Amino acid sequence: MRDGVLLSADIYQPKAEGEFPAIVVRTPYGKTTDQSHQTGCFFAENGYAIMYMDVRGREDSDGEFIPYRNEGIDGYDSIEWIAAQPWCMGKVGTLGGSYLGRVQWLTALHKPPSLKTMIPLVTPSDPFVEWPTGLPNPQHICWVYRTSGRVQQNLNVVNWAEVYDHLPMIEMDEKTGRRSEQWKEEVRHSYLDDYWKHLCYQDKFDQIDLPVLHISGWYDDEQIGTPLNFIGMTHTDESKKSKHHQRLLMGPWPHQVNKSTTFGELEFGPTSIIDMHQYQLRWFDYWLKGIDNQLMEEAPVQIFVMGENKWRQEQEWPLARTAWTKYYLHSDGNANSLFGDGTLSAEKPKIGEPEEDHYRYDPSNPVPFITEMISSQIGGADDYSAIERRDDVLVYTTEKLTEDLEVTGPVTAEIYASTDGRDTDFMVKLLDVWPSGYAQRLTDGMVRGRFREGMETPKLLEPGEIYPFHVDCWNTSHVFKKGHKIRIEVASSAFPKYDRNLNTGDELGVTSEMKTANQTIYHNEQHPSAIVLPVIPKR
């Protein structure tokens, strides 16, 4: 690297003589895995030199590992190093998912001349887009522990449930048995300040002019980033050549994309798995070898529609024909739990109807978010019918659908609420209720009261005042089948997906004192709480 630090890489090359385009993959998880070897052999056999590199401070590479902080310039130096090799023709692409995806975006901002295209998968967003709480998601400590030191740490030696329960959060690292200054620093910076802005790329798409193949899954726990990146790269200055060279692929997958036709209790069918290596090869062949394989003649968006379990091609994202449809909250004042009287319909609340629902949020007994304890996949297509028995979960459900209804696109909610605390949270979850009672989670989101106007400007709440809370519930593509019901839940916790708001208004992450908050959700003519669904009309 430019500062003299040596990074270690494995390079797979074709057996033939000559010059070849190159692919760079930079990872903190070790370059010698079975998956790395299989991918390296595949691309070498198809005429590419592919380099797997341990990022700075990990595995065989020298230097100190500080997540993301050096990846932009190290990525630049790595790309230009391989481009200058006598067996490289000077054209380079990048590939990789999750941390390896964000690395590509941070590298692209430095504009390495030899970088011609990228394939980022399941890419994390800018700080606080996935975790809009001002604090790391509690399960992030699992990743911090895993990547502490030079090699992978054994996650099975830690009782993660006890770690996530520990307060204050700034001491959570010590509960694992490994002190982490990185964790403590991230907790101390509890809003979007310069410490975090150094890692932002989603506000800089105008600086990146590259063809990009964006890949993720509807159940990816970092899903929100990929559609946002596609939108950002396609809604830029018309003069950018790459504006029309973006492609989006969204499957019915978790964070480990394209591994199985099943997820939880769901079976998506044999077509839900594709030959990902061949799919990526076509992209690199077009942009790095100049092979005319009709790639750019195809629709730019390919999505898997769950429920219908079919792939479909589209021309844009979100879809131009979307009918943005509000489903309003109604009740007789007792929407608490699955057994309450909450309903959901396209009919707006009228004068004279009951106007509000109430519940108590106790941080010492948060609403569970169903997930495995380690952070490799947070949540899935889980059945929330048991969770919905709690009185601190408001449940609103439509009548049985008389015909299939497709919802494809970004899901948002506008919730009018008040609290007797200085700060609190509101969560909204979208579910498909099957005739059996299985309440399938589709997607969800949350807002923290102090960040209702943005992550840069925390402002505490006035107790008793009614506020509109805009909740980004991410994206989905799903057909609610005839006889099913649409449901949303409203609560104030989803633990351990998000940290618990302690309701005191104190500085985040450094205290243990907690208070119970009394919450009110309004659904009247003046405050019509609703979820906005991207309904796709039948063709």
**Catalytic site residues?**
98, 220, 255
Q: Are 137 and 494 in contact (CB under 8 A)?
A: no
> What is the SS3 assignment for 408?
strand
Q: Which SS3 state, helix, strand or coil, does residue 72 take?
A: helix
Amino acid at 192: L
465 phi, psi to nearest 5 deg: -80, 140
Q: What are 186's two structure tokens? A: 């991230």
Q: What letter would DSSP give residue 15?
A: S
77 SS3 class: helix
Residue 383 near residue 438, CB atoms below 8 Å: yes
Beta bridge partners of 117: 93
Classify burial at 377, counting beta carbons within 10 Å of its beta carbon; exposed 0-12, middle 13-18, buried 19 or more.
middle
523 DSSP assignment: B
| Spatial distance between the Cα atoms of 181 and 170, rounded to a whole number of angstroms | 10
Amino acid identity of residue 184, one-letter, is: K
Alpha carbon distance 215, 121 (integer Å):
5
Integer Cα distance of 334 and 106 in angstroms: 49
